[in-house]
Structure 1
């Protein structure tokens, strides 16, 4: 009996350790989702107040790339080294993502944060559609998911056309860019270290937004106190810390579990927009948002079956 009890103790201890690790992983995951969720309403608040979106992105992405590079250099410097193929593809993906970030922020000049957050939640549908071009089997269920998403967009925009169509087009352009970036990483960089790829993507994003700033005339628009606070929060909380939390969470609970929190992030963004920006949605728009979130959940489940590596599909965030 004593031998049996002694043998059971290590098993019980291992089970307790596993549960503790899982619970801590979920705490990290929820914190990461909350960190990502503040980006859209915060950016909308300062952009609607007159802040230049390109200038804001230069500070946000540049500071985040610097912080991540320093962190990797001080903790795991070997992860800064990558072969030419990894660097080239990461830079290409980051360039596409920089276009997506620019169009997303331009969209926030015209659309409320809650609207933009709901629209960008269709991203998994875009990823699935691009995977179909690579040979992923298209089923009637994909058609159903796409129909749900399109119906949701129609209801969200409003049958009466009250929403700025240019703003919607900017957000949808961002959605396409984010989807292209994700499938590029999945197709060509699946076996590389996520932090290494993330760093080089952020470097390319920084270069991309700086190039756009130069094309716009290289005029530095003063951020002011409010703008600097917003830029630092966006860089440190919603870009740098959120990704570190994401990597830590994925290592504990897995990318599939983390991916299922994407709708939670969307709902949190809408909640912050309601609480702090005074935004509201009509009943029809709520119905549209619900259809979009439902189609996104179905698409995320399908992406798991399609073996789209979860760690890549998680961090193309606004």
Structure 2
């Protein structure tokens, strides 16, 4: 078998595993949004929750790298720059999402977040992929859905909507950075650096804006949320997401976001008692349909 044929065979075998990794990451994200909203509803501040989550996650990931993968940190320039850029972007994205949950329901936030494929599609267009009439139709459908979801009756706080939109845009940038600057590095090499950068960014903001006497003053249920979101929604999910992006690309990874939305909405209804009005359900359905339709768009291997 030629080298080219062997490479193609390995690529084909990697695709199913890539989708499995992304689905694990999606489940972690769905759980995090619901239990974080529950904590915020109990008057627990978002920044200590996020800062403690990321610090604990970074410690666990470095322990995994040293004692499970048995690897020393790789300090190559491209890796350091890529991990720093991606970490800063995702720190901004995740902070915005935590702050958004103070204003809007978890179900609404997750439906808004599912517009992410449209932003990835827009970035791919800027990078040279030509938009089609169908692309325009998908974007219009998504915008109509968002309008119905957040604009009917003025019941959804605009601050929360704006923060989720910041989350979506910056998260899309983060996906592109991971694919284009960190391809070729193993998950074990990328993830500890990435999460450490996030922990430093978020914790710096938290420490600078909070008196030292009340740093990390969290009730017991707050620490439970920190533990779950650190171990399952960050460590396991981040390892899985990075591995998934490397196998199926940032475009296909973003296109699976409707699955995360559906899971999060179901859990929010069951565990938080959230409800969407009929018009909001229609808007949410249009957003999900728009995101799903993007999956029909062919993406060249170099642009995925």
* CA displacement at 1:250 relative to structure 2: 8.1
Q: Secondary structure at the match of 1:302?
A: coil
Match of 1:242 in 2: 237
Name which one, 1 or 2, has greater alpha-carbon Rg.
1
2:222 to 213, 218, 227: 227
Match of 2:137 in 1: 144
* TM-score (normalised: structure 1): 0.81
Q: CA 1:185 to 1:263, structure 2 compared with 1: closer, same or farther past 3 Å?
A: same
- Per-residue CA shift, 1:53-82, capped at 9, x if unaligned? 110011111111221221122232347314
Match of 1:81 in 2: 74
Question: In structure 1, how many angstroms separate the alpha carbons of the residues matched to 2:253 and 2:163?
Answer: 27
Q: Secondary structure at the match of 2:297?
A: helix
Map 1:256-271 onto structure 2 (within 5 A).
Answer: 261-271=256-266
* CA displacement at 1:244 relative to structure 2: 4.1
Match of 1:124 in 2: 117
The CA RMSD over aligned residues, in Å, is 2.9
Map 1:9-88 onto structure 2 (within 5 A).
Answer: 30-78=23-71, 80-88=73-81
**Contact kept in structure 1, 2:62 and 2:192, CA below 8 Å:** yes
Question: In structure 1, how many angstroms separate the alpha carbons of the residues matched to 2:118 and 2:194?
Answer: 23
Q: Which runs of 5+ in 2 are unaligned?
A: 1-12
**Contact kept in structure 2, 1:136 and 1:306, CA below 8 Å:** no
* TM-score (normalised: structure 2): 0.84
* CA displacement at 1:32 relative to structure 2: 4.4
Q: Which runs of 5+ in 1 are unaligned?
A: 1-18, 310-318
Match of 1:302 in 2: 297
* CA displacement at 1:240 relative to structure 2: 1.2
Question: In structure 2, how many angstroms separate the alpha carbons of the residues matched to 1:39 and 1:198?
Answer: 18
**Contact kept in structure 1, 2:179 and 2:245, CA below 8 Å:** no
Match of 2:196 in 1: 203
1:90 to 59, 71, 83: 83
Q: CA 1:186 to 1:247, structure 2 compared with 1: closer, same or farther past 3 Å?
A: closer
**Contact kept in structure 2, 1:82 and 1:196, CA below 8 Å:** no
Say yes or no: does 1:174 pair with 2:174.
no
Q: Which moved more, 1:156-165 or 1:131-140?
A: 131-140
* CA displacement at 1:257 relative to structure 2: 7.8
**Contact kept in structure 1, 2:28 and 2:233, CA below 8 Å:** yes
